[in-house]
Amino acid sequence: MLAAGTLLFRSIPIWLHGSVKTPAWLERLLRHVPAAALTALVVPGSLYTKANGAYQLAPTRTVAALAALLIALRTKNMIATLIAGMAVLWAGQALVALVS
């Protein structure tokens, strides 16, 4: 059921494309899917960690994500972004461990 439902979600627009005209307002909305969807996939994991179903603020992750955002905007390079983000996260974790 999960497989069938997911397959339909993915396939119907691809099957129908061309035979049904996409209205202008829908096209205007869809132009913004990449920026909106990617942001939504980034933000929760950069703000929170989840323990036993409860969301908790994760400041170290937030700082690391902001550093990675700077690198991403500047370099547009995925490996550089990954390295920057993980380096700041690990440094932050080490610092927190040192202080506490």
Residues near another protein, by CB under 8 A: 1-3, 5-18, 22, 25-26, 28-48, 55, 61, 64-65, 68-69, 72-73, 76-79, 81-82, 85-86, 89-90, 93
Query: Would you say 13 or 59 has its CB closer to another protein?
Result: 13
Helices (H) and strands (E) in the chain, counts: 5, 2
CB of 20 to another protein, least distance (A): 10
* Strands of 10-69, DSSP E: 48-51, 54-57
Query: Would you say 29 or 95 has its CB closer to another protein?
Result: 29
For the chain, helix, strand, coil in percent to 5 are 75, 10, 15
Instruction: Give ∠ CA 66-71-75 in degrees, rounded to 5.
Output: 155
CB of 100 to another protein, least distance (A): 14
CB of 66 to another protein, least distance (A): 10
